[in-house]
Amino acid sequence: MPFEPEGSRSFDVLVVGAGPAGLAATVRASGEGRKVGLVDDNPDLGGQIWRGERPKPGNPEAASWFRKVREADFEALPGTRVVGPAGPNALLAESGGRAVELRYRALVLATGARELFLPFPGWTLPNVVGAGGLQALVKSGLPIEGKSVVVAGSGPLLLAVGALLKKKGAVVRAIAEQAPMGRLVRFGLGLWSEPARLRQALRLRLDLGGVPYRAGCWPVEALGDDTVRSVRLTDGRSTWSVNCDYLACGFGLVPNLELPTILGCETRDGASVVDDWERTTVPEVYCAGESAGIGGLEAALLEGQVAGLAAAGKGDEARSLFRARDRAGRFARSLGRTFALRDELKYLARPDTIVCRCEDVTAGALAGRTSWVDAKLQTRCGMGPCQGRICGAAAGFLYGWPRGSIRPPLFPVGVACLGSELSAVSGQRSAGEEM
């Protein structure tokens, strides 16, 4: 039986992901009669960083790009989740419980990144959440005024989260950054050649006035009963406790590579491999933003523009952005060196500390396992609803295990959509057999 999804769309350029990179790609690809589509599983545009800002952007850059989005000619498909391939130059997606086939001539993947969570005793307690996760909850209306919060982990996101929480009335007890002070000082000195970034950093520090900031400091245990009550922090020499209602904890970002991988795009060092035009190793598939390597907002916007222009056949315009894009990439690599994770974080988990939350697999159960596949076969680690997105990244850091193969569907889907996917696979096999 041939694959007949309930709906289908065809585009010259299809962009997956409506964060900054995806928006930039969409804007630059549109025009001149090209049919451009933008798909995202969220109900609105903006991704994590610009979540909820489209009606009234909170900064000039977001306002500028949302204005360009309003003026661009494209079809938006919010609330649409891509679950796998549907044959050559086609993706299968689910929207409102219905299967949708998305056809394209060129595809731009701007799938972003997610937070890296590392296990330590108590990290599964209620109100121990990701730093970016708490940021998103507060932006969506979570009341935080008067609540005590400790922000811990690594990366510039900690400062942004702390500033937002303070602005919303939270009592930010501490920001604990695991990177040592020496690295942070060298990084700060380098900002003198980047005036815009220096102003941004100074503004954040001003917004965080009165909030204790500890470098070379990380959490070792969250304590509480029905919810977190305090967190134990260490600087490697001494340990102390800080009372809190929330512990916002994240150790950087991990690119979302499931869709690029399942489409056959080569990955290296935890990112999609791309050329100067943001092309992947698969013809007519491009990748931009964090899925092509963690680089921050400026790099994501520039990579998105290059990818969108290249996908739309506007090579000369894309080439004009190479120098700015490459400079942003150098800054991103400097960020990576500054906030590289320390080895001490590999040894926080005790034998009874859960590593895989979906399947309740402990660090003790993973002792002696030799690979990600071995861990899955022997313990079911990574076989729960998140499909290893959380524990897989943690295991990569803790044990050096590369992720195994990715199989569709990429997310849990309804039976109707799954049936469409099976029909698509069956149809492809039948066509191959006939040939």
Tell me the percentage of the chain whose pLDDT exceeds 90: 74
Q: Give yes or no for residue 256 having a pLDDT over 50.
A: yes
Q: Are both 227 and 270 inside the same structural domain?
A: no
Count of domains for the chain: 3
Q: Are both 234 and 126 inside the same structural domain?
A: yes
Q: Are both 138 and 247 inside the same structural domain?
A: yes
Provide the pLDDT confidence category of residue 434 given band limits of 50, 70 and 90.
Answer: very low
| Amino acid occupying residue 17 | G
More confident residue, 58 or 159: 159
Whole-model pTM? 0.90
Q: Give yes or no for residue 147 having a pLDDT over 90.
A: yes
Provide the pLDDT confidence category of residue 423 given band limits of 50, 70 and 90.
Answer: low
Q: Are both 266 and 197 inside the same structural domain?
A: no
What phi-psi label fits residue 280: left (phi over 0), alpha (psi between -120 and 50 degrees) or beta? beta
Residue 165 forms part of a structural domain: yes
Provide the pLDDT confidence category of residue 404 given band limits of 50, 70 and 90.
Answer: confident
What phi-psi label fits residue 264: left (phi over 0), alpha (psi between -120 and 50 degrees) or beta? left
pLDDT tens track for 33-84: 899 999 999 998 988 888 877 878 778 888 999 999 999 999 999 999 999 9
| Final residue belonging to a domain, choices 251, 278, 305 | 251
- In the prediction, which pLDDT does 418 show? 67
Q: The CATH number of the domain where 170 resides is what?
A: 3.50.50.60
Q: Are both 281 and 244 inside the same structural domain?
A: no
Q: Are both 203 and 96 inside the same structural domain?
A: no
Residue 65 forms part of a structural domain: yes
- In the prediction, which pLDDT does 406 show? 81
Residue 84 forms part of a structural domain: yes
| Final residue belonging to a domain, choices 202, 235, 251 | 251
pLDDT tens track for 328-370: 999 889 999 999 999 999 999 999 999 999 999 999 999 999 9
Residue 415 forms part of a structural domain: no
Q: Are both 281 and 222 inside the same structural domain?
A: no
Q: Are both 329 and 373 inside the same structural domain?
A: no
Residue 2 forms part of a structural domain: no
Q: Give yes or no for residue 433 having a pLDDT over 80.
A: no
Provide the pLDDT confidence category of residue 289 given band limits of 50, 70 and 90.
Answer: very high
- In the prediction, which pLDDT does 337 show? 94
pLDDT tens track for 172-193: 999 999 999 999 999 888 888 7
More confident residue, 417 or 394: 394
Q: Are both 108 and 188 inside the same structural domain?
A: no
More confident residue, 19 or 420: 19
Facing residues of 279 across strands? 286
More confident residue, 194 or 180: 180
Provide the pLDDT confidence category of residue 6 given band limits of 50, 70 and 90.
Answer: low
Q: Give yes or no for residue 419 having a pLDDT over 80.
A: no
Domain that holds residue 318: 7-114+254-338
Residue 429 forms part of a structural domain: no
